[in-house]
Each structure stands twice: as C-alpha cells, then as structure tokens.
Amino acid sequence: MKFVHYALEALAGRLVKWLVSLPPTLFLLVFFVAPSLIVVLASFRYPGEFGGLASLLPLFGADSGLTLETYRFFFSDFVYFEIFLKSFGVAALTTLICIVMAYPLAWLIARSPKKRRDLLVLLVILPFASNFLIRVYAWIIILGPFNLLYTSFAVIVGMVYVHLPFMVLPLYTNLEKHDPALLEAAQDLGANAWTRFWKITFPLSLPGIFSGSVLVFIPVLGMFAIPELLGGTGDILIGNLIKEQFLDNRDWPLGAMLSIMLTVAVLALAGLSAWAGRGKGRMA
Amino acid sequence: MSILEIRNVTRRFGDLLALDDVTLTIEAGEFFTLLGPSGCGKTTLLRLIAGFDEPDAGRIFLDGVDLAATPPEKRPVHTVFQSYALFPHMTVRDNVAFPLNMAKRPLDEIHERVKQALEQVHLSDKSGHYPHELSGGQKQRVALARGLVNKPRLLLLDEPLGALDAKLREQMEGDLIALQRDVGVTFVFVTHSQQEALALSHRIAVMNEGKVEQVDEPDKLYSFPRNRFVADFIGNINMLAARVAETHHGHLVLQATDLGAVAAPLVKGVKAGDTGVLALRPEQVHISSHAQTPELKNHFHGIVRGLLYLGDVTVYKVELDNGMEMEALLANSAPGRAKFFEVDDDVTVAWRHDAGLFFHD
C-alpha cells in the first residue's frame, strides 16, 4: 500500500510540474518557435509578385516552390558581408563605450548611501518614461547645429545614449553586492587604490560587464531606427537591411534569410564567448 | 620590549564615545586579547591599529614610530577578518600569495613561502581550490595563512572563531596557540567570549564602554578582578549585597542583608559602614546536605531551586533564607553517583572566610 501511495505522490508531483510549465511552453511554441520556423521556411521560398511570398501549391510537381536562390545571392555579394561586419563593429564599439561610461556611474551609485541608491537608479531608467523616437529626435536637434548629423558619429552617439541604462543596471547590481571587507582586506595586505581596483573590484565585476554587454550588443545589432534617423547613406546596418527587404523592396525571402544569418551569427558569438569563459563561473 | 603602544586614544562617533582615553602597551611576541561586550570599543581599537580609522585624539606607536601618517597598506600589520574576506575569484594559493605579490617579492620566494604557510595550517592539498569549495574551518585557516605569510609585526584577529561551531572552535583554539608560538608573531585578538580569551591569551585587556577596565594575565583576571564589571564579565559570580560592620587586621566582617554576619578578606580603603557586594565564584561555594555541620565559618541554610547538569560538573541554584539565589558548583566525580542534590532539597551553603572579594559601591 505504501508503495502505491508513494507512486501516486510522485505522479502528482510530476503533474504539477507539467501544469506549471505548460502555459509558458505553449506561449513560446506559438509565438516563438512557430514564427521562427515560418521565417526559416520563408527564406527558402520565392518572393511574391507584389510582395509577400509566391504561392507554394500551384507549383507542386514541376517545381516545389522552394529554392536556395536567396542564400546563393547572399554569399555571392560581398556587400552583405560588409554590412554584417560593419554592424558587428558598431555593436562592439557601442558596447565598449557603454562599459567605459557606465562603470564609474554604476560604481558611484553602488557606493552612495543606501537611502539614495534607489533614487539614483530611478534617474538612470527615467529616460524610458518618454518615447524612444522622441528621444532620438532630440538628438537630431542637438547634433544638427554642429554639423554632426547623418554621420557614423551620430549613429554611435544615439546607440550609446539609448543603451547606456542596459549597461548601468547589471553593473550596479553586481557592484552593489561586493563585500566591502574584501577591499579592506586587500588594503590591509598591502594593495594601493589602483591595485585594489584591478585585482579585486574589476575581476569580480566581470559577470556584470558580461550581462550588460549582452543586453547592449544584441539590441544594437538589430537596431534600424537610430541609423535611419541619425545616420547617413553609408550608415546602413543589418537592421536597416532587413527592414528594407520587408517594407521597401518587398523581398520577403531575402529579409527572412538575412534575419536567419543574423540569428546564426549571434548564436555563434554567444557560443564562442561561453566557450572562452568556461570554468569562470566560480567568480560570482 | 613593547611593540605597540596606544597612548590616550579617544574616538567619537557623533555622540557616542567609542574609545575614551585608552592607554595600552603590548609586548613583542605576546598573544594579547581585547575582551568586552559588543559596543565596548574593542573592534574600533583594532581598526585604529590597522589604520582603517583614525583616532580623534591620542597616538599609536608601532616599534616606537607614530603610525598616524602611515596608510593601512603601508603598515606591517595584517588582519584576519571576522568574515575571513577571502578573495572569491582567487584560489587558496593566490589568496595566500597576495600580500607577497603586493610586497613585490621574487616569484620563487613567493612560491616557497606560500607552500610553507599552507603546510603550517595543514592545507597543502587545497592550494588549487577556490574559497567557496572550503569549509568554515578551512577558510579560517586560509585567512590565517594569508595574514601570516608576509611576517607582519602584528597580526590582528577580529573575532575569528565567531562563525565556527563549538567543537571546531575548541580545536582552532589549540591550533591558534600552537601557531602563534611557532611563528612568534605578536597577536592582537578581539573577542566577546571570555572562555576564548582565558584559553588563548598571555594577557587580556577587559574593555567596557570605551574604557579599559583591567589588563592582566587570565588567572589574575579571574581570581583578582579589579572591579565589579570585570568580576561579573569574566566567568560566573555570585553577588551578595552586604554592608561592612567591622574591619579587622586580617579580614572584614560584613553584614549581609537579612542573612547575618559574613567574614571576608580585607580590602584596602574599605571602612565600617561602606555598602557593596561580596563577589563569590560558584566553585568557592561548598554545598552539603543540611544534617552535616560544616567546619567553615560562613554557612547558611538554603533550598535547591534549580540545577544545571553539565556532565563534568553540576551548577546548583540555591535560594538562601533572605531570598537571594546563589550558585554553587560541584564536580560530578563521586563514583556511582550522577548528581548529589535534587530540586527542593534542604542544603547548607558555605565558603571559607578568606574566599570572595568585597567591592564597595
């Protein structure tokens, strides 16, 4: 009897687990996995005459309606590769500038009296209270008189401005948790201020820098509004390229293919950094 | 030879007087303990010695040199923190090598000394581990090795045994004594535990409310406390309210409230009419069954109201006829018997005429 009781209990436990995880699983299946598969499929189809995709069904038999044409196109034209490279460059530069600018800010907030910290964090995220486009337009007004508008510089300024809070917050969360006794111990054992930072604070903040970098790097890669509003003709990034295929060129298969290439590139990069950072988990 | 001299040091935090004109001298090679309840200023004093804080008045000399102008990283004084403060991103080896790296010692010397230090604390096999992989006792030993590896003039220890369980603490106490003797570094140890202080120290400074109440060797502190605070803080003690009736050459005759005459050893400066307390250690109080007539001069009737069986000894709480409760300690050493008395037993408590100390108000 006891055995039956335990078996039932185990079954009930498993059932609860399933019930809890069902809604998010369903959500992700419907709104993430299915669309992704649709995008993958679209990248292998022909563009429709007036945008959209050409129908699959009437062509059955003679032609399946599927093609590798868009992929051949991508690898035959160096221009796409160049734009990818440039996008990764802009994302990397934005991330780097964000780290350099966010670090002192996050450090100061983490070191300020506990009562004031929440207020300072609120100030960091306050820009989110106004519309993103309005804030980017504000930069048009700011940069215009200095003849800096429609340049790569303006694009970087806009990117850094919009994404800075995403670097400050994880860094602050990390720095705030540092045990002040560690710095005292380091000082006690002979480390000056400079050494204390590079030997203790900085290595311990690497997980924060990493999460901040992910939160900045990936959105910047896909960003199209900022280059469109602040950049010149030469400042086209992947995001713009993809957007153009869907809205202007009406070449959905090409747009879908570019999205997939971007996803693959980001995943490859994430895998690479995970591989490079393996075994460093104990730092946190 | 004195290694550290603290001269008239005062430290205020707002209205709080954390250290009030403290003067202390610590000898080279000594295991010196600052003992007191929390908030007595012992940790503040330790932080002043380490250099994390500055005195409002007074000076601190190390080997005769005023430390005021020397920042913490330049002082040949290292600290073992209460939380250990091991660097979580460094292995045990790197943690211990840290002070040597800071001192820019040559690599082969660092290697050799780290190896030695880890051997000293029996952690050679853990050198490649990270702090989070160690037990509390092991972390403690890494912190000790790190503090000692660069041979500081002084090692400050801030309640280092506080986080360990009782059994481990006892073992670490033994290890600490052996380690201090082996390396010969002067230890300044901070604790609120009088057992730790008595077991470890060569000398103890008892602190209270920012003042040093008494500096002495453990046995002197226990047997000859200078005042009521020290008597009460070190060990357990009975306080019998009394008034001085007569002073003789050899002893005092006290009149204990609602109890009668009590003989006590003479205290300088005490005269007839003074009021105060007679402080008696529980182990000085004898306890016997009512029928026996003790040959001791001070003996009073009482009733056992409670007992605390501790294995090796039993502490009996005896209520005297004046309502006062007195503790008497009895070793459980008689063969075939677990304990001697039960609750509600009629007993006689007694003590020698030269036992106890009178403190007048």
Residue whose tokens read 């106890």: B356
Pairing between strand B154-158 and B77-80? parallel
In CATH, what number is assigned to the domain containing residue A126? 1.10.3720.10
Identity at A64, one-letter amino acid code: S
Position B353 scores a pLDDT of 84
Confidence band for B322, pLDDT divided at 50, 70 and 90: confident
Interface probe for A, chosen from B53, B87, B113 (most Cβ of A below 10 Å), is B87
Same domain, A189 and A239: yes
Over residues B191-210, the pLDDT tens digits come to 998 889 999 999 999 999 99
> Residue B113 is encoded by which pair of tokens?
């000394």
pLDDT above 60 for A62: no
Buried b (16+ CB within 10 A) or exposed e, B167-185: eebeebbebbeebbeebeb
Q: How many A/B residue pairs have CB atoms within 8 Å?
A: 62
Mean pLDDT over the full length of chain A: 86
The Cα A271–Cα A181 span in angstroms is 35
Q: What is the pLDDT of residues B140-188, one digit of tens each?
A: 999 999 999 999 999 999 998 887 888 888 888 988 999 999 888 999 9
CB-based contact A181 B89, cutoff 8 Å = no
Instruction: Check pLDDT > 50 for residue B325.
Output: yes
- Return residue ranges of chain B for CATH 2.40.50.100: 238-360
Q: For B48-96, write each residue's pLDDT tens digit.
A: 999 999 999 999 999 999 998 899 999 999 999 988 999 999 999 999 9
- Rounded Cα distance between A60 and A58, Å, is 6
pLDDT tier at A57, thresholds 50, 70, 90: low
Which range marks the domain in which residue A123 is found? Answer: 78-283
Do A188 and B83 count as a contact with CB atoms less than 8 A apart? no
Q: Check CB contact under 8 Å for B98 and A186.
A: yes
Residues in chain B: 361
Q: State how far the alpha carbon of A153 is from the alpha carbons of A142, A167, A278, B242, in Å.
A: 13, 20, 35, 89
* B150 shares contact with chain A (CB less than 8 Å): yes
Backbone conformation region of residue B325, classed left if phi is above 0, alpha if psi is from -120 to 50, else beta = beta
Q: How confident is the model at residue B294 (pLDDT cuts 50, 70, 90)?
A: low
| Range B238-360 classified under CATH 2.40.50.100 | yes
Domain shared by A231 and A158, yes or no? yes
Residue A131 lies in a domain: yes
Residue A108 lies in a domain: yes
User: Which chain B residue lies closest to A192 (C-alpha atoms)?
Assistant: B73
Domain B2-233: assigned CATH number: 3.40.50.300
SS3 of A86, please?
A: helix
* Domain match, A265 and A124 both: yes
Average pLDDT on B106-128 reads: 92
Q: Where in chain B is the domain with CATH 3.40.50.300?
A: 2-233
Average pLDDT score over residue span A112-118: 91
B43: pLDDT strictly greater than 50: yes
By residue count, chain A amounts to 284
Calculate what percentage of chain A has a pLDDT beyond 70: 93
Alpha-carbon distance of B81 to A267, in angstroms, equals 44
Looking at the domain assignment, is residue A73 inside a domain? no
Cβ pair A181:B83 closer than 8 A: yes
The Cα–Cα gap between B326 and B349 comes to 9
Q: Is residue A142 part of a domain?
A: yes
CA-CA distance, B306 to B290, in Å (whole number)? 17
State the pairing for strand pair B77-80/B251-256: unpaired
Name the residue with higher pLDDT: A202 or A273: A202
Residue A83 lies in a domain: yes
Task: For residue A191, list chain B residues with Cβ-Cβ distance below 8 A.
Answer: 73, 98, 102
The predicted pLDDT at position A144 comes to 82
Buried b (16+ CB within 10 A) or exposed e, A55-72: eeeeeeeeeebeeeebbe
Please state, in angstroms and rounded to a whole number, the distance separating the CA atoms of residues B182 and B179.
Answer: 5
Q: Say if A64 falls within a structural domain.
A: no
A25 and A115 together in one domain:
no
Amino acid at residue number B28: A
Please indicate whether, in this complex, the C-beta atoms of A283 and B89 are within 8 angstroms of each other: yes
Greater confidence (A63 vs B205) lies with B205
Give dist(CA A35, CA B141) in Å, integer: 57
What distance in Å separates the CA atoms of residue B118 and residue B174, rounded to the nearest whole number? 17
> A78-98, pLDDT tens digit by residue?
888 888 888 899 999 999 999
Q: Are residues A40 and A116 in the same domain?
A: no
Q: Hey, are the CB atoms on A189 and B150 less than 8 Å from each other?
A: yes
> Shortest CA distance to B78 belongs to which of B164, B160, B200, B134?
B160
Q: Could you identify the residue written with the tokens 């988990």?
A: A281
